[in-house]
Amino acid sequence: MSDATYYLTTPLYYVNAPPHLGHAYTTIIADCLARYHRLRGDPVFFLTGTDEHGQKIQQAAAAAGKTPQAFANALVPTFQALWETLTIRPDYFIRTTDATHTAGVQEALRVLQARGAIRKDTYEGWYCTPCETFWPSLTVPPGAAPTCPECHRPVERIQEENYFFPLEPHRRWLVNHIRQDDEFIRPVSRRNEVLAFLEQPLQDLCISRPTARLSWGIPLPSPPFEPGYVTYVWFDALLNYVTAVGYPAVDGRWPAKLHLIGKDILRPHAVYWPIMLHALGLPLPTTIAAHGWWLVGGEKMSKSKGNIVDPQAVVAEYGVDAYRYFLLREVPFGQDGTFSKAAMEKRYTSDLANDLGNLLYRTLTMIEKYCGGVVPNTQPRRGIALPAYEEPEEDFLPGLGTGVHLSKAFGAYDFQFALTIIWTCINQGNAWIDQKKPWVLAKGDEVATQELARVLARLSEFLRALAVWLWPFIPTTSEQMWGQLGCPGKIEDVRWNQAWAPGASAGQRIQKGSPLFPRREPTAR
């Protein structure tokens, strides 16, 4: 446990459409980390929210015949409802239209202007609305329409006066910081990508739009700026990470420990944002960690590509924890993954129903059958002369050291590996039952009965530890396990290093319920 708050953030999602699998993925990872740190006893502040300004939203609202604010107000609850469905528990949900955020952004603009960090200039170039990004120059093959280098969609030609934030003066400083601090950008492939990008001089960042072209943003405070400008998207939204903790008077939660993002928004987070903080005189976050994309049919899942998989529908079919488990298990952090129902079905049946579900079900069934539903106390009974009884050396003790290995995996954002470790233990547990054959022991002599009691006690303790280790990943299932094992209190009050607690389960009355992952009828595909 440490005193410093574990402050972690997700991106603020655009409210031009309801959330999809991509948004769910980042937020599930954040929730998993938040829960893990809570179990460690760290104070946690988990921030998510919505990015509501910009042309994209103004256009989507116009198409729907609504004002941008009314349009955003209608979409925000779809995000909040999804986090609820997915058992994601943020500590705070920020909206870039919040009055406190607006005031904080305006203050940051005043500070930068006073420090001489902003200049006015005429801009001429191309603009990509889906990416909300300017491209000063593009190579356009003769006869072809100019397209965005990032998303390959059409761009528009634009010329206007705007305010700019020069990045180049900070480039050397940023390169040094990234080189000196291995933790700053994760994984290392992304760190190298940013360092390569920083080999070239940086263009000034355009931070305003004339109200005539875009009205849906935060007004630049006038004075010191000329009237008739708004700031929006990157400059506005990135600042949420500090306005959420009190900027201009940031409290002890800043700097954040982790900005979790998708690789699509690495540059704004790993280049613009650190430079903005540096120019404002604020300390940098510890880590920016970028995950890969979920692809469907080889393409990034996105609204504009029309290949959205609705999380609510998948959860309705497979359950929330199967969804969380699949996303955290299937793909190594940082790499792209492909979503398919066939792959989900496989994980559901083999990992969740067969391995985990069975381990709990068989154990509880045996405790019911052989021990009257009470977890046996494995201490030798006094007054009865039994032959010397010693635990075999090769015995089943997956609890020892597992928590430590899991912590290392969390530290490396390696959720897939963490789950692989846990499932190795689960498989050992099932194999141990097959090897010990409690049903044979149950028919044996006094020594066999004592061995049976010990096996079932060990399994209960192991399942108790599993419930704790799994809580960050699949909290509803963990809580069901906890309840069925008859464990007292709440998992979240147990500390990570007390997950494996030999003897803790002795005497508990189990409450066997329905299987954790009921068999599914094969679906038509």
Helix (H, G, I), strand (E, B) or coil at 189: helix
Q: Which ranges constitute the DSSP H helices of 181-223?
A: 188-197
Q: HSE (CB half, 13 Å, CA atoms) of 435?
A: 10
Q: Which residue's beta carbon is nearest to the bound ligand MSP? A: 22
Least gap, CB of 11 to ligand MSP (angstroms): 4
- Residue 413 interacting with ligand MSP (CB under 6 A): no
- Residue 324 interacting with ligand MSP (CB under 6 A): no
What is the DSSP secondary-structure string of 461-495?
HHHHHHHHHHTTT-HHHHHHHHHHTT--S-GGGS-
Instruction: Select from 185, 238, 364, 418 the one that contacts ligand MSP (CB under 6 A).
Output: 238
Which C-beta is closer to ligand MSP: that of 94 or that of 465?
94
Q: Cβ-count burial of 285 within 10 angstroms (0-12 exposed, 13-18 middle, 19+ buried)?
A: buried
Least gap, CB of 272 to ligand MSP (angstroms): 10
Taking residue 484's Cβ as centre, other Cβ atoms within 10 Å add up to 20
- Residue 307 interacting with ligand MSP (CB under 6 A): no
- Residue 53 interacting with ligand MSP (CB under 6 A): no
Pairing verdict, β 287-291 and 229-231: unpaired
Rounded CA gap, 49 and 268, in Å? 17
Tokens of 440: 């044979």
Least gap, CB of 354 to ligand MSP (angstroms): 29
Instruction: Select from 55, 97, 162, 302 the one that contacts ligand MSP (CB under 6 A).
Output: 302
Rounded CA gap, 235 and 276, in Å? 9
Taking residue 396's Cβ as centre, other Cβ atoms within 10 Å add up to 19
Stretch that binds ligand MSP, among 9-17, 353-361, 386-394, 495-503 (CB under 6 A): 9-17
Instruction: Select from 261, 275, 344, 494 the one that contacts ligand MSP (CB under 6 A).
Output: 261
Least gap, CB of 55 to ligand MSP (angstroms): 12
Which C-beta is closer to ligand MSP: that of 331 or that of 419?
331
Which of 242, 94, 234 has the alpha carbon at shortest distance from 165?
234
- Residue 83 interacting with ligand MSP (CB under 6 A): no
Q: Cβ-count burial of 239 within 10 angstroms (0-12 exposed, 13-18 middle, 19+ buried)?
A: buried
- Residue 12 interacting with ligand MSP (CB under 6 A): yes
Which C-beta is closer to ligand MSP: that of 272 or that of 410?
272
Stretch that binds ligand MSP, among 173-181, 210-218, 220-228, 233-241 (CB under 6 A): 233-241
Asked whether the beta carbons of 149 and 138 are under 8 A apart, the reply is: yes
Rounded CA gap, 500 and 23, in Å? 34
The count of chain residues that interact with ligand MSP, using the rule CB under 6 A, is 21
- Residue 257 interacting with ligand MSP (CB under 6 A): no
Which C-beta is closer to ligand MSP: that of 11 or that of 475?
11
Tokens of 191: 């760190």
Instruction: Select from 53, 190, 300, 324 the one that contacts ligand MSP (CB under 6 A).
Output: 300
- Residue 51 interacting with ligand MSP (CB under 6 A): yes
Termini Cα distance of the chain: 48
Least gap, CB of 304 to ligand MSP (angstroms): 10
Instruction: Select from 6, 13, 247, 370 the one that contacts ligand MSP (CB under 6 A).
Output: 13
- Residue 453 interacting with ligand MSP (CB under 6 A): no
- Residue 272 interacting with ligand MSP (CB under 6 A): no
Stretch that binds ligand MSP, among 5-13, 220-228, 319-327, 478-486 (CB under 6 A): 5-13
Which C-beta is closer to ligand MSP: that of 25 or that of 413?
25
- Residue 237 interacting with ligand MSP (CB under 6 A): yes
- Residue 262 interacting with ligand MSP (CB under 6 A): yes
β-pair partners for 147:
154
Which C-beta is closer to ligand MSP: that of 194 or that of 237?
237
Least gap, CB of 71 to ligand MSP (angstroms): 15
Stretch that binds ligand MSP, among 10-18, 424-432, 463-471, 484-492 (CB under 6 A): 10-18
Taking residue 349's Cβ as centre, other Cβ atoms within 10 Å add up to 17
Least gap, CB of 486 to ligand MSP (angstroms): 40
Tokens 């940031």 belong to 250
Asked whether the beta carbons of 162 and 126 are under 8 A apart, the reply is: no
Rounded CA gap, 37 and 1, in Å? 9
Q: Cβ-count burial of 206 within 10 angstroms (0-12 exposed, 13-18 middle, 19+ buried)?
A: buried
Instruction: Select from 5, 6, 8, 14 the one that contacts ligand MSP (CB under 6 A).
Output: 14
Rounded CA gap, 370 and 118, in Å? 76
Least gap, CB of 366 to ligand MSP (angstroms): 42
- Residue 25 interacting with ligand MSP (CB under 6 A): yes
Tokens of 291: 């995950």
- What track of x and - describes contact with ligand MSP for positions 278 through 297 (by CB under 6 A)? ---------------xx---
Instruction: Tell me the backbone φ, ψ of residue 313, rounded to 5 degrees.
Output: -70, -40
What is the DSSP secondary-structure string of 73-135?
HHHHHHHHHHHHHTT---SEEEETTSHHHHHHHHHHHHHHHHTT--EEEEEEEEEETTTTEEE
Q: Which ranges constitute the DSSP H helices of 269-340?
A: 273-280, 311-318, 320-330
Rounded CA gap, 101 and 401, in Å? 45
Which C-beta is closer to ligand MSP: that of 130 or that of 429?
130
- DSSP 8-state secondary structure symbol assigned to residue 287: E
Which C-beta is closer to ligand MSP: that of 8 or that of 238?
238
Stretch that binds ligand MSP, among 122-130, 300-308, 471-479, 511-519 (CB under 6 A): 300-308
**For binding to ligand MSP (CB under 6 A), which residues are involved?**
11-14, 22-23, 25-26, 51, 237-238, 240, 261-262, 264-265, 293-294, 300-302
